[in-house]
Structure 1
Amino acid sequence: MYQKIKYFFSLPTAGGIILMLSAILGLLIANSPLSEQYFTILGSYIAGLSVLHWINDALMAIFFLYVGLELKREFISGELATNSQRILPGLAAFAGLAVPAIIYFMLNKNDAAAISGWAIPTATDIAFALGIVALLGSRVPLSLKVFLTALAIIDDLAAILIIAVFYSNELNLLYLLGAAAALGVLIILNRAKITNKYCYIAVGLILWFLVLQSGIHATLAGVILAMTIPLKNAKTNAKGEAPLIAWEHGLSNWVSFLIIPLFGLANAGVSFAGLELSMLTHPIVLGVAFGLFFGKQIGVFGMVFIGEKLGIFKRPTGASWLQVYGIALLCGIGFTMSLFISMLAFASPELQDLSKIGVFLGSLISGVLGYLLLRFNPQKSQ
């Protein structure tokens, strides 16, 4: 039994499966006799923050730290290290962000309260999308896997910038100055080639508190910390890993098997009490669902198709147009980041629930159709 469990957790799809099960569990509990206890626990306060805020503001800061480490590595020495490597996934990611936002805006432009959710359908859940691709194995060309990885990473960077610019509260100058000072200390540690992780952790915790109090969303402290962790010209550990690589490896399982599943469990819990079928046609639900399903595939596939026809770039090597379209469908799985943005976009629980329904619908349809198309693709790579 132990060997089977160990084997499961070694699979590339394990994180996505556990996230999916956690989200389903959250939905089931929220609509069971335990729902009152579920929402009471999430609303309980510990050290000045509710349990839900500890998950969304503190644990998710660690998730963003992990994402930031991955971003820095890819841009310095990975799949996005050169401009030629960035142009195709970069333009596809931009189109895959713009079209969903436009669709949402057009469906909600007359509702001042709803319009702030425009960014919800712009995100791609890298864990889910890559998990499905891993399930498909050799049916997906390696070039498409690299393309999807690069696109999702750039998509995460765009989401980080959107959160920083559009979803920050009223700013507190004193705490901002303190955060800037903490960043200065981190930069000094980096320039001095100091690799002791406890130095970075200590300053990182101070930075997180200052950012939390400043009005900028606290999770961005994780990204800022990640940018200062040394990668090149730094002392390596016993395994020959640079500090950034060691941090990334050290955080991987914690993020995949604890932080993201906890986030899914806490944020996917939508109570269906009082839910009416007419709510499925609410502009917020349609804006998010249509943005993820139609917007992502139109933006991503459309950019690759038009770009190749205009001679700007070529589609990933060895991939058929049907396979590119299948990958574009998988980009419509917004889940984790979309749910996270919905919590920032709406203060009203009612509007949050509507947006979550849209996220579930758009992500589910995109994921299922993308998988089926790639799984039963009759064409050979060309």
Structure 2
Amino acid sequence: MKNRIQQYINIESLSGILLFSGMVLALCISNSSLYDLYLNLINLPISITIGEFGLHKPLIKWTNDGLMAIFFLTITLEAKYHFLEGEFTSRENLNLPIIAALGGAIVPAIVYYALNYDTFPQAKGWAIPIATDTAFVLGILSFFSTRIPLALRLFVVALSIIDDIIAVMILALFYTASINYIPLLIAAIILLLLAVINLLKISKLSVYLILGIGLWLSLVETGIHGTLAGVLLGVFIPLRVKEMDQKTSSPLKRLEHALHPIVALIILPIFAFLNCEIAFKELSIADFYSSVTIGIVMGLFIGKQLGIMSFSFIAIKLGLCKLPCDINWRVYYGTTILCGIGFTFSLFIGTLSFEDKIFVNQMELGVVLGSLLSALLGVILLRKATRVSQSMVENPQNILIKKS
């Protein structure tokens, strides 16, 4: 268990560095003589044609609709494993990240909406500040080395996974365009097939993946965002196999183990590079003070920490949960500020919220500023608050909850 957890955290930490590098590179190119070349790259048309059926999208859409579906598949597999067989099978371990994630989603959305409720389409961006970028947060925590207990990193992983689940539900409910019902019927049939082969405990991943591709194509044609296919496919991939196949490893574990480094080290950095196009010469002073920019900054920087801290404090005082072992409120607060780094998922929701280039620029500016403020203040507070010994970090078992 310790090796699996440590490997996960190491990959996420490296991913955070690559994500930051992709963001910085995109910002530099967007404000250089290579800007036109960069625009040509992200808008490069790519087509796939099979008989009379064809998909025609620019590179950035293939990334956001296609590659990000793999990202959603991966986080669904991770969530399923952790909640069914991993560290969070215990309700006592799970209560705090669930409650904290709810606060970290509800309050930022309220903060943003309070600043934009009377304007359209600005109000559509209310979900942008609700997410936490696991890779960035774990990447920052990795720099604190032995001063951060593994229990706290596990808490961040759980909170961000639940955050992502909440965000996926919001995407499905509020960010779906008009629906084409014939492809929707095909998608429903594919889901039924997935349910049947799951009940039969079929362990061949190829069967699930072929149906998953069909599900993605159907949802894209339906008008529902294709990334939802990743979530639905992940739900049906079995964690356990038939007794006669005990020598066969879990399909879920095999797929998650194969996809996690690809998603963390390749797909997410590519997403960051292609979606962080901000040409500062196109921005005005008014963009920095726009309701979209301010709403996102306030949602990520103020709303996140306020929501997580207030919900956590009340829940702990009511006896519903406990702080992770060897963690005090100062360290916990510093971590809640880091959870305001919404980068990847916030940008993704932003691309679905706005089409006008002006609002897209303001959205990207708000996400970058809000995430940077959260990162800077979080690091400063954690440096002052962390005084954890090496022995507290090395043992990953039974450290999530303080012993009574």
Does the pair score TM above 0.5? yes
Percent of pairs identical after alignment? 40
Structure 1 pair 105/11, CA: closer, same or farther in 2 (3 Å)? closer
Q: Which residue of 2 aligns with 1:221?
A: 229
Q: How does 1:201-216 map onto structure 2 within 5 Å?
A: 201-216=209-224
- Whole-angstrom CA distance in 2 between matches of 1:10 and 1:141: 14
Q: How does 1:280-291 map onto structure 2 within 5 Å?
A: 280-291=288-299
Q: Which residue of 2 aligns with 1:167?
A: 175
Structure 2 residue aligned with 1:61, among 56, 59, 69?
69
Q: Which residue of 1 aligns with 2:4?
A: none
- Whole-angstrom CA distance in 2 between matches of 1:376 and 1:259: 34
- Whole-angstrom CA distance in 1 between matches of 2:73 and 2:282: 38
Q: Are 2:92 and 1:84 equivalent residues in the alignment?
A: yes
Structure 1 residue aligned with 2:204, among 171, 196, 204?
196
Structure 1 pair 233/378, CA: closer, same or farther in 2 (3 Å)? closer
- Whole-angstrom CA distance in 2 between matches of 1:69 and 1:378: 32
Structure 1 pair 236/104, CA: closer, same or farther in 2 (3 Å)? farther
- Whole-angstrom CA distance in 2 between matches of 1:220 and 1:236: 33
Q: Which residue of 2 aligns with 1:369?
A: 377
- Whole-angstrom CA distance in 1 between matches of 2:100 and 2:386: 25
Q: Which residue of 2 aligns with 1:44?
A: 44
- Whole-angstrom CA distance in 2 between matches of 1:122 and 1:378: 26
TM-score by length of 1: 0.93
Structure 1 residue aligned with 2:186, among 173, 178, 185?
178
Whichever residue aligns with residue 105 of structure 1, its letter is Y
Whichever residue aligns with residue 308 of structure 2, its letter is V
1:341-361 Cα shifts (integer Å, max 9, x gaps): 000011112111101101001
1:255-283 Cα shifts (integer Å, max 9, x gaps): 11211111001001111123223321111
1:228 CA drift (Å): 1.2
- Whole-angstrom CA distance in 1 between matches of 2:177 and 2:104: 27
TM-score by length of 2: 0.88
1:210 CA drift (Å): 0.1
Q: Are 2:35 and 1:19 equivalent residues in the alignment?
A: no
Are 1:236 and 1:243, in contact at CA under 8 Å, matched by a contact in 2? no
- Whole-angstrom CA distance in 2 between matches of 1:138 and 1:328: 19
Q: Which residue of 1 aligns with 2:337?
A: 329
Name which of structure 1's ranges 171-180 and 113-122 shifts more when overlaid on structure 2: 171-180
What is the DSSP-based 3-state SS (H/G/I as helix, E as strand, rest coil) of the residue aligned with 2:177? Answer: coil
What is the DSSP-based 3-state SS (H/G/I as helix, E as strand, rest coil) of the residue aligned with 2:143? Answer: helix
Are 2:149 and 2:388, in contact at CA under 8 Å, matched by a contact in 1? no
Q: Where do 5+ consecutive residues of structure 1 fail to align?
A: 1-6
Q: Which residue of 2 aligns with 1:32?
A: 32
Structure 2 residue aligned with 1:301, among 300, 305, 309?
309
Whichever residue aligns with residue 244 of structure 1, its letter is L
Are 1:139 and 1:375, in contact at CA under 8 Å, matched by a contact in 2? no
1:373 CA drift (Å): 1.5
Structure 2 residue aligned with 1:120, among 119, 128, 131?
128
- Whole-angstrom CA distance in 1 between matches of 2:310 and 2:244: 43
Are 1:343 and 1:352, in contact at CA under 8 Å, matched by a contact in 2? yes
- Whole-angstrom CA distance in 1 between matches of 2:220 and 2:306: 37
1:55-74 Cα shifts (integer Å, max 9, x gaps): 10011111111111111112
Q: Are 2:355 and 1:347 equivalent residues in the alignment?
A: yes
Are 1:333 and 1:363, in contact at CA under 8 Å, matched by a contact in 2? yes
Are 1:235 and 1:242, in contact at CA under 8 Å, matched by a contact in 2? no
Structure 1 pair 102/12, CA: closer, same or farther in 2 (3 Å)? closer
Name which of structure 1's ranges 229-238 and 209-218 shifts more when overlaid on structure 2: 229-238
- Whole-angstrom CA distance in 2 between matches of 1:378 and 1:243: 39
1:237 CA drift (Å): 9.2
